[in-house]
C-alpha cells in the first residue's frame, strides 16, 4: 500500500465488504476569501499549518492557483491531494 493510495486488489476486497451509501457533497472554500476558522475545519489542516497558509496568502496577496500551497515552507506535500479536495484559489 502506498501512502494515500490503495492497491487495486485491496480496494476491490474492501469494496466487497463496504459500500458507499451516499457520496459526500464537498463545497470547496476559496482560500483567497474564506476565513481562518473555516480552513481550520479541514481534517488535514492543523492550527500551525493554517497559520502558515494565511501568512503565505497575506504575503502574496492572493493565490492565483491552489498549487501555490506547495510553496509554503513546511507544507505537507504528501497531503496536498487530500487538502485541495476542500480548497480552491478561484
* Greatest CA separation for the chain: 48
- Residue 49's alpha-carbon distances to 15, 18, 34, 76, 83, in angstroms, are 33, 33, 15, 9, 11
Whole-model pTM: value is 0.75
Give me 86's grid cell. Answer: 476542500
Residue that is written with C-alpha cell 492497491 in the block: 7
Q: pLDDT tens digits, the chain, 90 residues: what are they? A: 344 566 888 878 888 898 878 888 899 999 999 999 999 999 999 999 999 999 999 999 999 999 999 999 999 999 999 999 999 998
**Taking Cα atoms as reference points, which of 59, 60, 57 lies closest to residue 31?**
57
What 3-state DSSP class applies to 30? Answer: strand
Amino acid at each position: 500500500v502506498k501512502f494515500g493510495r490503495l492497491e487495486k486488489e485491496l480496494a476491490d476486497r474492501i469494496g466487497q465488504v463496504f459500500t458507499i451509501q451516499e457520496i459526500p457533497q464537498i463545497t470547496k472554500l476559496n482560500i483567497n476569501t474564506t476565513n481562518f476558522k473555516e480552513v481550520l475545519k479541514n481534517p488535514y489542516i492543523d492550527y500551525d499549518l493554517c497559520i502558515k497558509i494565511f501568512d503565505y496568502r497575506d504575503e502574496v496577496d492572493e493565490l492565483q492557483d491552489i498549487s501555490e500551497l506547495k510553496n509554503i515552507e513546511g507544507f505537507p506535500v504528501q497531503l496536498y491531494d487530500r487538502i485541495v479536495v476542500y480548497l480552491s484559489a478561484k
